[in-house]
């Protein structure tokens, strides 16, 4: 009986060791995602070593950003001239007080940190959608819808781009051939603006 117990204990110990070694081997084996991430990082490191990013002695992008700031950020109520072209090639325009804004723009961050239930893991922090100032939620949708304020009446105007309609924005009226027949789409007309 003692021999049977010793043999059984030895067999169980061997099985446990074999199972343990197999489990360790499987656990130490990287996942497919980890392998791909490692390959991606390795490739990036190799390419950076061969082709490092060049540096600039001057940034034209910063110049243009500063131009944008100087154009739109120095004069409250500066007028903007929005020319819209429809699918037939016809042009219309709005003259707005300030810049047009897309529905994707928000005064508040679109997400907020919140404590959430993680099920059996307990609770944790996550970023969740935050309500906007009107008490509703949105998800960066309607990015092709723009709105603004009519320059002389203060009326709300809105339009969409895409689906064969596009727009051009200028800081002053454009006397270009394609705009000759442009019709006012809001109350303010070019003749209402003193140049």
Q: What is the pLDDT of residue 13?
A: 62
Helix intervals (H) in the chain: 2-28, 32-50, 60-72
Q: What is the pLDDT of residue 14?
A: 60
For residues 156 and 173, what is the distance between their CA atoms, to the nearest angstrom? Answer: 20
Our CA angle for 42, 48, 53, nearest 5°, is 155
Q: What is the dihedral of CA 132, 110, 80, 178, to 10 degrees?
A: -120
How far the first Cα of the chain sits from its last, in Å, is 111
Our CA angle for 45, 47, 50, nearest 5°, is 110
Two structure tokens written together for 88: 């037939």
Q: What is the pLDDT of residue 135?
A: 78
Our CA angle for 87, 89, 92, nearest 5°, is 95
Q: What is the pLDDT of residue 153?
A: 95
Q: Please list the ranges in the chain whose pLDDT falls under 50.
A: 23, 25
């Amino acid at each position: 009986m003692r021999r049977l117990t010793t043999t059984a204990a030895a067999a169980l110990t061997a099985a446990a060791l074999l199972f343990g070694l197999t489990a360790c081997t499987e656990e130490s084996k990287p996942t497919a995602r980890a392998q791909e991430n490692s390959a991606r990082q390795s490739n990036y490191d190799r390419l950076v070593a061969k082709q490092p990013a060049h540096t600039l002695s001057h940034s034209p992008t910063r110049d243009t950003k500063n131009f944008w700031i100087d154009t739109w950020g120095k004069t409250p109520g500066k007028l903007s001239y929005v020319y819209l072209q429809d699918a037939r090639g016809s042009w219309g325009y709005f003259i707005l007080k300030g810049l047009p804004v897309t529905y994707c723009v928000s005064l508040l961050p679109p997400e907020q940190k919140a404590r959430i239930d993680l099920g059996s893991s307990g609770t944790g922090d996550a970023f969740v959608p935050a309500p906007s100032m009107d008490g509703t939620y949105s998800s960066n949708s309607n990015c092709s819808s723009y709105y603004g304020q009519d320059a002389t009446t203060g009326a709300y105007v809105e339009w969409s781009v895409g689906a064969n309609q596009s727009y051009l924005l200028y800081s002053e009226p454009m006397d270009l051939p394609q705009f000759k027949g442009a019709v006012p789409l809001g109350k303010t007309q070019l003749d209402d603006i003193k140049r």
